[in-house]
Structure 1
Amino acid sequence: MEIVRKAVDVAVTRLSITKTKSVRSTSASLQALTAAALALPGLIAPPVFAADEEVSFQYSHYQEGKRQLFDSKSTLNPIEVDSLQGSAKIKLADRIRFAFNYTQDTWSGATPITTAPLARNGNRWKGETINTGASPLIQATPGVFDKNFNPLKTDNPGDPSANVIGKDTRLAHTLSYASPETRKQGDFKLSYDFDNAALDIGGGISIENDYESRFGNLAGRWDFNKKHTSVSAGVSYTNSHTQALLDHAAYDYYHYKPFPFKDQIQNTSDGGHTLSGDREDWATHVGLTQIINKHALINIGLGYTYSSGFMENPYKAVTFIFVDPNSDNQHRLDKNLNGNYAALFEQRPNERNQWTPSLSYVQHIAPLDAALHVDYRFSSDDWGINAHTFELTWGQPLGDGWTITPKFRYYSQSAADFYQPVFLSKQGLPGSHALGADGLDTAKKYNALNPRSLPSNYSSDQRLSGYGALSGGVTLSKQFAKGVNFEVGFEYYSHAGALKLDGGGEGAYADFNYYMANAGMKVNLDSLATSLGESNHHAKHHQHTTHQHAAPAGVMFDHVLHNAGDVMVGYRYMYSDQSGNILHGNSIAKDSAIIQHGCANNTCSSAPSYMTMHMHMLDLMFAPSDWLTLMLMPQFVDMNMSTRELNGAPEDPNAHSHSGGHNTGGVGDTGLYAISNLFNKQGHQINLSLGISAPTGDVGIKLRDTHGLGGLFIHYGMQLGSGTWDFKPALTYTGALNNWSWGAQASGTKRLESKNASGFAFGDIFQATAWSGYNLTPWLSASVRGVYTVQGKVKGEFNNAHFGDSAEERPWGGSQDYTGNYGGRFWDVGFGLSAVVPNGDLQGNRLSFEWLQPVEDDVNGYQVERDGALSASWNYMF
C-alpha cells in the first residue's frame, strides 16, 4: 500500500551513502582515490566514473519500534519491510556498458494515519474501548473543551453532557494496520564511454497494488584537466499514478468523504471507494568532482526538482476540532465548550519546488589504508521545509580481505508551513455528507461545509513535521579470492522532535526508533576473468565437468565440489502459477459443491481464482574436504493470491470476506545441507544429501480485517515458511556417456514437529524424478524429465483460526482457509536448457532454465489447478 511505502520512504532512502567509483585513468592520484573509494562496500555511486562488471544480491530487513501511545491500547505490530535487490553490470562492447537493477519490497504493519488528542478516546468494539492509536474507526465524535480550546477528559467519552475530569492536552498517533503488500521495481542504465566523457540513458518502472510510477533519465560526464576534474549533469522525469483503495473501515473514518477530492473518488463494484490522482516530477542536477591530490577529492552538487499534481498521501487524515465559541448551545454550565472531533482528507499544495545543494569530501588515509567520506546536503522547498543532512563514513581494511565500515548520520528539518498535529476550526461541525447516486456530493451538501472557513492546505503527516534524527551503523565485508564479496550491515535510527537542529520540533509522542539489517553478496566478473586467465586449465576442467553432469535447473543436490577448498556461488529463481478451475481430486468442482463441502462443516463463500509464487535463492557451496560439500541456501519468497466470491453463496455480512487480492513476501526458510559422494566410477555418481530446513520464514502473517484490528491469519499457503524444523534427505544418481547424460533422484521432507508457533504443520513430502539430457553443442544441452510428488494435508490449524461460534465473531469463509484443502498427488514433465559460457570474460558461468508442465493433479479437498512452474539458475564454481 502506498501509505506504507511512503511512511518510511524518507528514512530508508537516507540510508544510502554516495560512493566514488573507480576512475578509468592511469594517473597515480586517480588510482589512489579509487582504492580509497573501494574501501567502502555496498555503496552505490552517481554516474561519474565507470564501474567494474559485477553481479550482486542484497537482502535487508527494516523494523520500526512501537509509538508512544501513553494510556492508549494497541496490539498492532509496527511497520516492517523485507527487501530484496539484485543487480548486474556487464560490458556489451569495449565502450558500451549495461546495468540492470531489480528491487522488491514487502511492507506490512501499522503506520500513523493521523494525530489526535488522547481526550478524544474513540469508539468501542465488542464492549472494549479502542483508544487513539488502536483503530481508524473513530469517526466524528463529540468533545469538551475549555475556553482556550484545550481538550478535556470526561467520565463518559462521546457524551456532550458528561462531567469533566480534567484537562488532557496529550497527543498520540492513530495507527492504521496494513495487510502485506509488495512493490516491485526494475530499472536499467545504458552507458557509452568516450575518451574524456561518458553518456548514460536509463529508465524503469515501479509497481504496487495502488501505485505505479514510470521514470526515465539522461546523464553525462566530461573529464578534463588530465582527468583530475569532472563535470556531470543529468535530467530525469517521473510520471506516477495513485489508485488508492479506501476500504470500508478507512473510508468511514473520514467525516467529509469527497472533500476536497470529490471528482477523484469513485465507487467500486463491492461497495468500496477509490481515490485516484496523477503526479509528475522533473529533476535535474549538476556536479563538479575535483581531485585535490593523490589522497583526496571533493564533489560539489546542485539539484532541483519540480513536482506537480496529486501530492497528497491518500491514506493520511487530518484531525479537526470544530468549536463555535459564538454559539449559545455550545456553552456548558461549567463554562466549558462543547464541540466535535472530525477527520478530513489531508490537502497539500499541488506544486512543489525543491533545491538540494550538496558537498562531499573523500580522503584516503595512507598510514591506515583507510577512506574517510564526509558529506553534507541542504534541502529547501517552497513548502517551508529546510533540511540538513550530515554523514560521516570510515572504511577501514582489517587485512585478509576484511573491511569494517562504521557510519554516522544526522538529519534535521523544519516543519511544512501547512503542518499541524491537530487543526482548530472555530465553527460548528457541519453535517456529514452522504454520497449521492453518482458518487459525488450535490452542490447543496457540498456548500454546507463552507470551505472558506478552512485553510487552503493542511496536513498532520508526521514526515512533514519538524524533527531531528540520529543514526549509526556498521558494515562488515569479506573479500574472497576471484572477486567474491560477502557483507553484513546493521543500522539503528532514532527519530525525535527534540533532536531538531534549532529546537522546537514535534512532541515526544511522535518519537520512534527503527533498525535495519542487511546481508549481501557481490561477484566481480572482471576479477573472475582475471583469475581464469591465470588458471585457464583449471577453469576448463570445471567447465567440462559442470556441463557434462548438469542436471535440469529444477533439480538440486545433483553434484558435489571435487576438491577441498572449492567454492561455488549461485542464484536460483523459481516461479509457479495456479489459476482457473477448482479441482476436487482430479475433477473440476462446481461452485455449488465448493459452497457445501469446501469448508469442512461451514458454508464456503469464496475460493482462489489464481495464486503465483516467486522464490529467490542463493546457492553457497563450500568443500571443507574432498568427500564433503556443505551448502547454505537462504530464500526470499513473495506470493500473490486473488479470490472470488462463489456463485450462489449466501450473503453473510459477518463472514470474513476474501474477495480481491492478497500479497505476502519476505525471508523464507533457510536450508543447511551436507552432500557426500557415495560412488563415483566411469561416468556414474551417487550422491547423498542430508539437510535441515530452519524455520526462518514467518508463519504468523495476518490480514487487516474491516475493523482494522489485524487479527485474521492469511491463508496457510501464503505464509512464508513451514514454521517447523524439517529434515530433507535426497539420494541422487547421475550418469554420462559421450553427449548423453541422465539421472534420477528420490527426495523428501519430514516435519520434525507436530505443529508450529501458529498451531499447524504442513504435510510431509515425497518426490521422485528422473531425467535425460543431450549436448546439442559443446556448450549447450537440452533435457527432459518426469516428476511425481505426493504431499500430505495440513495438520492442526491456526491458533484462534475462528474467533468464535457466533456470526458476530466473524468465522472464516474461504476454501483456502481450511487445512483439508492442501496437498495431494501431482505428475509433471519438464523441458530444460543448460548453457556454459565456453570462453571470454564470463567463461565458466552456467545458466539453466526449465519449464515444468503439469500432467495430472489429484488434490486433497478443493484446490485451484496448477498451470506450471519455471526454474532458472546461475552458478559459478572455482
Structure 2
Amino acid sequence: MTSIKNIAFIFLILGLQFAWSQEENQGYKKRILETTEVDFLTSYYSQDGDNAAVSGGKGTEELTDVTGTIIVSIPLNDDDVLTIDAGVSAYTSASSSNVDPFDKRSDADPFVASSGASQSDTWVNLTGSYSHSSDDRNDVWSAKFSVSSEYDYFSLGFGGSYAKLFNEKNTEASINANVYLDKWTTIYPFELRPFGNDGVGFFRPDEITGNSNYTPNFTELNKTNRNSYSLGLGLSQILHKNVQGLISFDIINQQGLLSTPFQRVYFSDVPNSFIENFQLADDIERLPDDRLKLALGGRLNWYLNEILTLRTYYRYYFDDWGVHSHTASIEAAAKLNDKFTLYPSYRFYNQSGADYFAPYEGHLSSEEFYTSDYDLSEYTANQYGLGVSYTDIFTKMHISKFGLKSIDLKFYQYDRDTTFSSSIITVGVKFVRD
C-alpha cells in the first residue's frame, strides 16, 4: 500500500511553490523568501476494485486513507531557505486485512474484510531540505534528507539538486539525484507461515476443503532491503513571452526486495485448497531483485491571456520488466477574478503488462518469477480533476502573527479498465508570517 500512499502524498504537495528574482538596476538583492511560510495540507483518498494482489488477483481492493501534512519554509538569510515537511497518513484496507483472513468473526472470503492487524496502518514521514541561491540568482543548490516509517516498512532518503539559469534567465538546466534505503519487515500470508523457516503461526488442516493435502513449496525471502537510486535531468526554455517548454529525462535503479511478501499467487497446475471461502496461497509474489526504469517527458505551458493558461504534459516510460507506458495530461487555469482561479484537468494513462504478470491462476509453478498485482498488468486509465484556488496577496485574514495567503481545493476521479477506481480530495492552506 506504500505506493498508493506515496501517490496521495504527491497530490498533496502539488500546491507548494518556490520563486526567486533579482533587481540588479537598484543594486539590491531581493530575498529568496521574504518571510516564513506555513502550508497545511490534508487529503481523503478512497479506492475500490475486484483484483486485490493480497488475495492473488481477486477480491476487494477497498481502501481509505487520510493524510495530514505541515510544511514550514524558513528564510535563513537572503540566499538560504530551510524547509521542514512532516506528514502522517492513516489508512484502513479491506484488501490488506486479508493477509490473515481467518479471524473467526465470519467466513474467510477474499471479497470481505477481516479484522486482522494488517487491516489498518499509519505512515509517518519527516523531510528536511536546504536550498541556497547565488547572488545573481543564476545558480541554485539544494539538499534534502527524509525518514519515513510504517508497520512493515522503514525508509531513509537523501539527495540534492542543482539548477543553472542563463540566457538572461530564459533557459534553465537542472540535475537532481536521490537515494532511498528501505527495509522490510517480512509479513507472509497467514497460511504459509507454518511452512517457513521458523514455523510461526497456527494452521488448521482439519478444516481444508478441496485438495486436503495442502503442502505448498514455500521458502522465505532471503532479502529484506530495497535500495533505490534516481537521477533526473531537466531543461526548460521560454519559447515566447507567453510560452514555456520543458523536457526531462529520469533514470531509476532499484535493487533488493522488489516484491511484496504478503501478496499471494495461485498456480493453474496446483490443486486448489480452501478454508471456508478463502483459497490458500500456492506461493507469494516473486520478482527479480533488480529493476531499471527510464522516462522521457515534455511539458508546454501556454499563457493565452489574462484569464486562461494551458498546461500540457507527456511522458514515455519503459523498464526492463517489460512495462511501457504513455502519460498525457492537460490542465487549464481559468482566472475568475483577482482572488479565485479554477483548475479543470484531464490525464490519460496506458501501460503494457510486465513480463511477470498473470491474472488469478494464470501462472505455472515451474516459473521463476510471478505476480498477480494488477499495478503491473496491461491497462488504460483516465483521471478527471477539478480544483479551485483562493489567493489573497494582501493576507487580510490573520491567525495570530500569520496571514492567510491562499487556499487550494482539488478533487480527482481515477478509473482503470480493470474495475479499479479511486477518488481523492485535497485541501491546502498557506499562511505567511507578517
With the shorter chain as reference, the TM-score category is 0.7 to 0.9
Q: Does 1:60 align with 2:43?
A: yes
1:397 corresponds in structure 2 to 335
* Residues in 1 aligned to 2:102 and 2:130: alpha-carbon distance in whole angstroms: 56
* Residues in 2 aligned to 1:229 and 1:316: alpha-carbon distance in whole angstroms: 47
1:106 corresponds in structure 2 to 90
Q: 1:271 to 1:66 in 2, by over 3 A?
A: closer
Q: Give the letter aligned to residue 332 of structure 2.
A: W
* Residues in 1 aligned to 2:253 and 2:167: alpha-carbon distance in whole angstroms: 33
1:202 corresponds in structure 2 to 144
TM-score (norm 1): 0.40
Superposition deviation, residue 6 in structure 1? 3.4
Q: Does 1:359 align with 2:298?
A: yes
Contact 1:76 1:109 in 2 (8 A): no
* Residues in 2 aligned to 1:417 and 1:355: alpha-carbon distance in whole angstroms: 17
Q: Runs (4+) of structure 1 moved beyond 6 Å?
A: 74-77, 122-126, 270-276
From 177, 187, 199, the equivalent of 1:235 is 177
Q: Give the letter aligned to residue 356 of structure 1.
A: A
Q: Give the letter aligned to residue 360 of structure 1.
A: R
Q: 1:192 to 1:342 in 2, by over 3 A?
A: closer
* Residues in 2 aligned to 1:484 and 1:392: alpha-carbon distance in whole angstroms: 26
Q: 1:274 to 1:135 in 2, by over 3 A?
A: farther
Contact 1:255 1:343 in 2 (8 A): no
Give unmatched runs, 5+ long, in structure 2: 25-31, 53-57, 204-218, 272-278, 396-403
2:416 corresponds in structure 1 to 495
Superposition deviation, residue 241 in structure 1? 0.1
Q: Does 1:460 align with 2:407?
A: no
Superposition deviation, residue 81 in structure 1? 0.2
Query: Matches of residues 23-62 of structure 1 in structure 2 within 5 Å?
Result: 23-25=20-22, 53-62=36-45
From 448, 457, 471, the equivalent of 2:383 is 471
Which deviates more, 105-114 or 221-230? 105-114
2:285 corresponds in structure 1 to 346
- Structure having the higher Rg: 1
Q: 1:456 to 1:371 in 2, by over 3 A?
A: same
SS at match of 1:22: coil
* Residues in 1 aligned to 2:230 and 2:79: alpha-carbon distance in whole angstroms: 27
Superposition deviation, residue 454 in structure 1? 1.7
Contact 1:420 1:458 in 2 (8 A): yes
Q: Give the letter aligned to residue 21 of structure 2.
A: R
* Residues in 1 aligned to 2:124 and 2:102: alpha-carbon distance in whole angstroms: 37
Query: Matches of residues 759-798 of structure 1 in structure 2 within 5 Å?
Result: none
Contact 2:94 2:113 in 1 (8 A): no
Q: Give the letter aligned to residue 104 of structure 1.
A: V
C-alpha distance after superposition, 1:431-476 (max 9, x if no partner): xxxxxxxxxxxxxxxxxxxxxx621110001111111111111111
* Residues in 2 aligned to 1:465 and 1:15: alpha-carbon distance in whole angstroms: 27
2:3 corresponds in structure 1 to 6
Q: 1:478 to 1:87 in 2, by over 3 A?
A: same
Superposition deviation, residue 321 in structure 1? 2.4
Q: Does 1:283 align with 2:261?
A: no
Q: 1:376 to 1:267 in 2, by over 3 A?
A: same
Superposition deviation, residue 414 in structure 1? 0.8
Contact 2:122 2:150 in 1 (8 A): yes
SS at match of 1:6: helix
Contact 1:322 1:424 in 2 (8 A): no
* Residues in 2 aligned to 1:455 and 1:274: alpha-carbon distance in whole angstroms: 17
* Residues in 1 aligned to 2:67 and 2:102: alpha-carbon distance in whole angstroms: 36
SS at match of 1:312: coil
From 285, 296, 308, the equivalent of 2:243 is 296
1:189 corresponds in structure 2 to 129
Superposition deviation, residue 369 in structure 1? 3.0
2:400 corresponds in structure 1 to none
Superposition deviation, residue 417 in structure 1? 0.1
- Residue correspondences, number: 386
1:610 corresponds in structure 2 to none
SS at match of 2:252: strand
From 75, 78, 91, the equivalent of 2:62 is 78
1:376 corresponds in structure 2 to 314
* Residues in 1 aligned to 2:373 and 2:75: alpha-carbon distance in whole angstroms: 45
Contact 1:470 1:493 in 2 (8 A): yes
SS at match of 1:458: coil
Superposition deviation, residue 21 in structure 1? 4.9
Superposition deviation, residue 104 in structure 1? 1.0
* Residues in 1 aligned to 2:361 and 2:97: alpha-carbon distance in whole angstroms: 15
Q: Give the letter aligned to residue 496 of structure 1.
A: D
* Residues in 2 aligned to 1:16 and 1:379: alpha-carbon distance in whole angstroms: 23
* Residues in 1 aligned to 2:342 and 2:252: alpha-carbon distance in whole angstroms: 35
Q: 1:12 to 1:100 in 2, by over 3 A?
A: closer
* Residues in 2 aligned to 1:485 and 1:515: alpha-carbon distance in whole angstroms: 23
C-alpha distance after superposition, 1:753-794 (max 9, x if no partner): xxxxxxxxxxxxxxxxxxxxxxxxxxxxxxxxxxxxxxxxxx
Q: Does 1:485 align with 2:427?
A: no
Q: 1:65 to 1:105 in 2, by over 3 A?
A: same
SS at match of 2:354: coil
* Residues in 2 aligned to 1:55 and 1:93: alpha-carbon distance in whole angstroms: 17
Contact 1:111 1:176 in 2 (8 A): no
Q: 1:242 to 1:424 in 2, by over 3 A?
A: same
Q: 1:23 to 1:97 in 2, by over 3 A?
A: closer
Q: 1:469 to 1:15 in 2, by over 3 A?
A: farther
Superposition deviation, residue 67 in structure 1? 3.4
SS at match of 1:279: strand
Contact 1:412 1:469 in 2 (8 A): yes
* Residues in 2 aligned to 1:425 and 1:83: alpha-carbon distance in whole angstroms: 37
Query: Matches of residues 441-590 of structure 1 in structure 2 within 5 Å?
Result: 454-480=366-392, 481-482=394-395, 484-497=405-418, 511-525=419-433, 528=434
Superposition deviation, residue 281 in structure 1? 0.7
Higher-RCO chain (CA-CA 8 Å, sequence separation at least 6) = 2
2:274 corresponds in structure 1 to none
* Residues in 2 aligned to 1:496 and 1:304: alpha-carbon distance in whole angstroms: 28
* Residues in 2 aligned to 1:467 and 1:12: alpha-carbon distance in whole angstroms: 23
Query: Matches of residues 451-850 of structure 1 in structure 2 within 5 Å?
Result: 454-480=366-392, 481-482=394-395, 484-497=405-418, 511-525=419-433, 528=434
Q: Give the letter aligned to residue 406 of structure 1.
A: P
C-alpha distance after superposition, 1:480-513 (max 9, x if no partner): 332521222211111114xxxxxxxxxxxxx122
Superposition deviation, residue 289 in structure 1? 0.8
Which deviates more, 303-312 or 400-409? 400-409
Q: 1:461 to 1:7 in 2, by over 3 A?
A: farther
* Residues in 2 aligned to 1:294 and 1:409: alpha-carbon distance in whole angstroms: 26
Q: 1:413 to 1:77 in 2, by over 3 A?
A: closer
1:310 corresponds in structure 2 to 257
Q: 1:296 to 1:7 in 2, by over 3 A?
A: closer
* Residues in 1 aligned to 2:193 and 2:267: alpha-carbon distance in whole angstroms: 10
C-alpha distance after superposition, 1:280-325 (max 9, x if no partner): 111101100101122111111000001100111112111112259x
Superposition deviation, residue 514 in structure 1? 1.4
* Residues in 2 aligned to 1:466 and 1:398: alpha-carbon distance in whole angstroms: 40
* Residues in 2 aligned to 1:7 and 1:226: alpha-carbon distance in whole angstroms: 41
Q: 1:256 to 1:6 in 2, by over 3 A?
A: farther
* Residues in 2 aligned to 1:462 and 1:75: alpha-carbon distance in whole angstroms: 12
* Residues in 1 aligned to 2:411 and 2:372: alpha-carbon distance in whole angstroms: 31
2:160 corresponds in structure 1 to 218
1:89 corresponds in structure 2 to 73
Superposition deviation, residue 179 in structure 1? 2.7
Q: Give the letter aligned to residue 382 of structure 1.
A: D
Q: 1:25 to 1:111 in 2, by over 3 A?
A: farther
SS at match of 1:321: coil
Q: 1:285 to 1:344 in 2, by over 3 A?
A: same
Superposition deviation, residue 98 in structure 1? 1.0
TM-score (norm 2): 0.79
